[in-house]
Amino acid sequence: MLRLVDLCKSYRVGPIRVDVLQGVNLEVNQGDLLSIMGASGCGKSTLMNIIGLLDQPTSGSYLLEGREVSTINDDELSRIRNASIGFVFQSFHLLPRLTAQENVALPLVYRRLGDKEIGQRSQAVLEKVGMQDRAAHKPNELSGGQQQRVAIARALIGEPSILLADEPTGALDPRIGQEIMRIFLRLNAEEGLTVIVITHDRAIAQQCIRQTRISDGVLHEEAPQHG
Ligand SMILES: Nc1ncnc2c1ncn2[C@@H]1O[C@H](COP(=O)(O)OP(=O)(O)O)[C@@H](O)[C@H]1O
Ligand SMILES: [Mg+2]
State which of 9, 20, 219 you would mutate to test the pocket of ligand 1, scoring each by most atoms of that ligand within 8 A of its C-beta.
20
> The domain containing residue 103 runs over which residues?
32-42+74-222
What whole-number percentage of the chain has pLDDT above 70?
99
* Rounded average pLDDT over 151-162: 97
17 in any annotated domain: no
pLDDT grade for 225, boundaries at 50, 70 and 90? low
* Rounded average pLDDT over 170-175: 96
7 in any annotated domain: no
Over the chain, what is the mean pLDDT?
96
59 in any annotated domain: no
**CATH number for 172:** 3.40.50.300
CA–centroid distance, residue 137 to ligand 1 (Å): 34
Separation between Cα atoms, residue 163 and residue 25, nearest integer Å: 19
Closest residue by Cα to atom 24, ligand 1, is: 41
Q: Which residues line ligand 1 (CB under 6 A)?
A: 11, 13, 18, 20, 38, 40-46
129 in any annotated domain: yes
pLDDT tens digits, residue range 89-124?
Answer: 999 999 999 999 999 999 998 788 889 999 999 999
Closest residue by Cα to atom 20, ligand 1, is: 41
208 in any annotated domain: yes
pLDDT grade for 169, boundaries at 50, 70 and 90? very high
- How many other C-beta atoms can be found within 10 angstroms of the C-beta atom of residue 70? 11
- Give, rounded to a whole angstrom, the gap between the first and last alpha carbons of the chain: 28
Element (H, E) at 31: none
In the predicted structure, residue 48 carries a pLDDT above the cut 60: yes
Give the ligand 1 atom nearest the CA of 39. 22
Ranges of beta strands (E only) in the chain are: 2-13, 16-28, 33-37, 59-64, 67-68, 85-89, 162-166, 194-198, 210-215, 218-222
The total of structural domains in the chain comes to 1
* Residue 226: predicted pLDDT: 59
Q: Which of 55, 53, 54, 41 is nearest to 9 (CA)?
A: 55
CA–centroid distance, residue 23 to ligand 1 (Å): 16
In the predicted structure, residue 85 carries a pLDDT above the cut 60: yes
97 in any annotated domain: yes
Separation between Cα atoms, residue 202 and residue 137, nearest integer Å: 33
Collapsing DSSP states into helix, strand and coil, what is residue 105? helix
In the predicted structure, residue 227 carries a pLDDT above the cut 70: no
What whole-number percentage of the chain has pLDDT above 90?
93
48 in any annotated domain: no
CA–centroid distance, residue 163 to ligand 2 (Å): 16
* Rounded average pLDDT over 162-185: 97
Q: Which of 167, 153, 147, 197 is nearest to 90 (CA)?
A: 167
For 197, counting Cβ atoms within 10 Å of its Cβ (0-12 exposed, 13-18 middle, 19+ buried), the class is buried
pTM of the model: 0.95
Closest residue by Cα to atom 7, ligand 1, is: 11
131 in any annotated domain: yes
* Residue 63: predicted pLDDT: 98
CA–centroid distance, residue 131 to ligand 2 (Å): 27
